[in-house]
Amino acid sequence: MSRAAALRYLDRALVAPPDERAVPLLLGPVAGRDTALADAGLDRATWSEARRAWVAHADRLTRALRWVDPLADHGGWTVTVKDTIDVAGVPTSLGHAVHRHHPAVTADAAARLREIGLSVVGKAYATELNIGPPDQALNPAFPDLSPGGSSTGSAVSVAAGISDYALATDVLGSARWPAANCGIAGLRVSWHPARLAGVLPVSPTQDSIGLMARTVEDLRLLWLRAPVAPLPHRGHTGRPVVATVRNAASAAPPMAGAQERVVDVLRDLGFTVREIELPEAMWSARELAWELCAADVAEVVAETEARLGMTISATARASLREAVTAGRHRELHDAQREFRAAMPTFLDKTGVDVMLLPVSPSPPKRVVDRAGRPTLPKPADADYTDRIGYTPIASFAGMPALVLPAVVDDELGPLAVQFVGRAGGEGALLDLGVAVEHRLGVSATIAARVATTLTGRWPC
């Protein structure tokens, strides 16, 4: 009798995947969806219910969400919000196992997305205070690869078709790495302190809003509808000049090959592609960016524990470095201000509008190699040079950066590149990314892999 009762409960707990006709649309782009729905014979009500069922099914397998809105409207554009960004009436846990607080006010960035009609379907899993290891969610495109962090659930939710978009944060790659590892598009927007209202900042002069979608074209659709507090852009108004960065020549061959593929596409499209070399002082500023982040994080953790009465886990605490002096902290901020002022001058001098780099020196790490490791690199780490990566350049300078997959390798996973543009130049980056994405044609490959992970096969 007890077994039968348990089975009855378990039968109710498991949600069957939706109508097979809906799966390619659930994992496909927002662009062209209305036509695709009509072609598939799916009306709005059927589509909405199929998506609701899919959210339950996909989240059960990927553990992307910390909270799901059972009353969310799934008929239109949907978004998940990182669990370090406040949504009024929804608990914010900051990625902590037991903490939660209940904000009365929605973060400005989330409110803006709601204003233009996006439906918040859930809060996405974030690593603990943005510094814990990304061990809890499954990468739906490559389950043996780490999904990356700290905006882990944000990328997973988009890749898995749980939402069309994700609102996340990016400090030194917190949105770009997960987007890259899961094979989707990710945009770090230009830094501006006003954009961070209602967001936990771990390094306030480097933190910025991150947006994710399955394709760059979908990101552009969102940006055209409601850019997140756009900044005036004084840069190039015609076709942008793109430059690879010679300092990144030490990237692993697969990553260098992914970049080279993008260079070939750009030249085929008629873009001018040059090579530049950052002065050593600018290139080495990547280490200063991490040092500044570590100093900021130590202060944020101390204040958070004291004011919210919480204690972070040992794995998150392992990311902390020894405290720096107030004088050293000021030196780091001074260095950032100098870097932020020098970068536009350097781009003007070289005649470059957009820098192209691999998103990381090496391919995505496997779960078994990444599990439990501290998020913030330390100079004593054997792989320190690899871990500081290339993402800090945009963060330290306050510039926008767009990530997209260039190659999908069956063994190594998605191999992504990033375009780094001038402050306020998100529109130009997205236009460039759409042109390149159409030629690369890798989004369908990622969708097929996700469908295989979540359903066992790719519907024809």
Instruction: State pLDDT tens for residues 176-203.
Output: 999 999 999 999 999 999 889 999 999 9
CATH of residue 277's domain is: 3.90.1300.10
Please give the Cα distance from 336 to 204 (Å, whole number). 12
pLDDT at 12: 75
Tell me what the mean pLDDT of segment 94-112 comes to.
Answer: 96
**Assigned token pair, 366:** 């496997």
Percentage of the chain exceeding pLDDT 90 = 87
Enumerate residues 6+ apart whose C-beta is below 8 A from 335: 285, 288, 292
Percentage of the chain exceeding pLDDT 70 = 96
Residue 444 covered by a domain: yes
pLDDT tens-digit map of 136-146: 999 999 999 99
Phi, psi of 243 (to 5 degrees): -135, 135
Give the range of the structural domain holding residue 381, as residue numbers without chain letter. 18-225+234-455
CB 23 within 8 A of CB 127: no
pLDDT at 118: 97
**Assigned token pair, 394:** 């945009």
Residue 79 covered by a domain: yes
CB 414 within 8 A of CB 180: yes
**SS3 label, residue 413:** strand
pLDDT tens-digit map of 300-324: 999 999 999 999 999 999 999 888 9
Question: From the CA atom positions of the chain, what is the Rg in Å?
Answer: 21
Q: Is the pLDDT assigned to residue 211 strictly greater than 60?
A: yes
Tell me what the mean pLDDT of segment 258-262 comes to.
Answer: 98
Residue tagged 């943005």 (tokens): 130
pLDDT tens-digit map of 365-397: 999 988 778 788 999 999 999 999 999 999 999
Tell me what the mean pLDDT of segment 225-251 comes to.
Answer: 78
| Amino acid code (one letter) for 66 | R
CB 212 within 8 A of CB 154: yes
Residue 65 covered by a domain: yes
Q: Is the pLDDT assigned to residue 233 strictly greater than 70?
A: no
- What b/e readout covers 190-220, taking b as 16+ CB neighbours within 10 angstroms? bbbeebbebbbbbbebbbbbbbbbbbbbbbb
Confidence of residue 85 (pLDDT cuts 50, 70, 90): very high
CB 182 within 8 A of CB 153: no
Residue 1 covered by a domain: no
Please give the Cα distance from 173 to 444 (Å, whole number). 25
Enumerate residues 6+ apart whose C-beta is below 8 A from 175: 151, 154, 155, 168, 169, 186, 187, 188, 210, 211, 212
pLDDT at 235: 45
Phi, psi of 110 (to 5 degrees): -70, -40
Please give the Cα distance from 48 to 415 (Å, whole number). 33
Tell me what the mean pLDDT of segment 126-148 comes to.
Answer: 95
The count of domains in the chain is: 1
What distance separates the 2 farthest-apart alpha carbons in the chain? 79
Please give the Cα distance from 417 to 413 (Å, whole number). 13
pLDDT tens-digit map of 235-245: 446 899 999 99
Confidence of residue 10 (pLDDT cuts 50, 70, 90): confident
Tell me what the mean pLDDT of segment 398-411 comes to.
Answer: 98
Please give the Cα distance from 122 to 101 (Å, whole number). 16
Confidence of residue 3 (pLDDT cuts 50, 70, 90): confident
- What b/e readout covers 138-161, taking b as 16+ CB neighbours within 10 angstroms? bbbbbeebbbbbbbbbbbbbbbbb
Confidence of residue 62 (pLDDT cuts 50, 70, 90): very high
| C-alpha closest to that of 81 among 161, 149, 168, 159 | 168
**Assigned token pair, 182:** 């899961």
pLDDT at 228: 67
Residue 5 covered by a domain: no
What's 219's DSSP letter? Answer: H
Please give the helix or strand (H or E) that residue 108 lies within, else none.
helix 108-115
Q: What separation in angstroms does the CA of 138 have from each of 56, 61, 65, 93, 453?
A: 15, 7, 11, 20, 10
Q: Is the pLDDT assigned to residue 251 strictly greater than 80?
A: yes
Q: What angle do CA 59, 62, 64 make, to 5 degrees?
A: 65
Residue 9 covered by a domain: no
| C-alpha closest to that of 217 among 37, 421, 434, 450 | 434
Residue 185 covered by a domain: yes
pLDDT tens-digit map of 13-57: 776 666 777 889 999 999 999 999 999 999 999 999 999 999 999
Q: Quote the distance between the C-alpha of residue 140 and its chain's center.
A: 15
Residue tagged 């900021």 (tokens): 296
Residue 10 covered by a domain: no
pLDDT at 333: 98
Going through 208-272 in order, the beta strands assigned E by DSSP cover: 208-213, 242-245
| C-alpha closest to that of 95 among 200, 11, 231 | 200
Residues β-bridged to residue 211: 167, 187
